Amino acid sequence: MIKCLIIGLLGLALTTTAYAESAEAKGLRLAKELEKANDGYRGEKGTMTLTLIDAYKSKTIRKMKGLTKEVKGDGDLSLSIFLNPKDVKGTKMLTHSHKKNDDDQWLYLPSVRRVKRITSRSKASSFMGSEFSYEDLGSQEIEKYKYKWLKNSKTKKGDTVWVLERIPRKKSGYSKQVLYIKAKIHNPIKIEYYDKKKELLKKSTFKKYRGYKIGKKTIYRPTTIHMVNVKTKKESIFNWKERKVGVSLSKREFKKSSLK
């Protein structure tokens, strides 16, 4: 009987091991949970400020308007328009993101009345002098990354946080990113960005989340995203003043020809 019990327990252990979820499989599963939780927002628009802070804490504030349209079966469409100050007023950035292919991005410069295409080589470049790169503002589709679950942690209030590693499948300005996802709202509270030498380059924190009711689900968006370059000590802060989620937007607003 004891022998049978030992064999039975051994068989159970082998079965459990065979079906144990790997860190990679768990990371991908949780990433898909995030995607599902944030799907269905349809479209959003709002105004925000972009504050640039140099290493000496001197600030430059720019006001912007943003539009984003959800696209089923592919990445989303987004348009950012600078409203002031005068030196950047009228500058526009248009992004057609894609699930697998490289994103299409264009920058309209009113001073020369020219539309400039952001090439794959330029994706790691600074967006309008900020600590956000064009890549940061482009597609975050899960198909473009390999995922790995690292651990679970807790916030000071005791909320569960999933810590995931994601590695770009294609050319990127980063070797990897580490995401800290608040499970309750299926959104990040922090992201760490590592450079090609696998050293920490910068980190962003997402603050003051607000829930938006879309049909039967609630979708969360941060009010503030604070990016800090740990090497240069420069900072950039996106802060939304107004935001509407669940709005209907026409694809015509996101045509390249409309930039001019």
Identify the structural domains of the chain with CATH numbers, from first to last: 22-259 (2.50.20.10)
User: How many other C-beta atoms are found inside a 10 Å radius of the C-beta of residue 144?
Assistant: 21
Higher pLDDT, 6 or 26: 26
Interval 222-236: pLDDT, tens: 999 999 999 999 999
Does residue 4 have a pLDDT over 60? no
Q: Band of the pLDDT at 8, cuts 50, 70, 90?
A: low
What's the sign of the alpha-carbon dihedral 206, 44, 76, 34? positive
Res 9: pLDDT: 53
Spatial separation of the C-alpha atoms in residues 15 and 115, rounded to whole Å: 59
Does residue 239 have a pLDDT over 50? yes
In order, the DSSP letters of 166-186 are EEESS--S-SEEEEEEETTTT
Secondary structure class of 222 (helix, strand, coil)? strand
Q: Band of the pLDDT at 18, cuts 50, 70, 90?
A: very low
Does residue 139 have a pLDDT over 90? no
Average pLDDT over residues 42-65: 97
Contact partners, residue 12, CB within 8 Å, separation at least 6 = none
Quick check: 108 and 114 in contact, CB under 8 A?
A: yes
Average pLDDT over residues 6-15: 52
Peptide linkage before 85 cis (omega within 30 of 0): yes
Average pLDDT over residues 66-78: 93
Alpha-helix runs per DSSP H in the chain: 2-18, 23-38
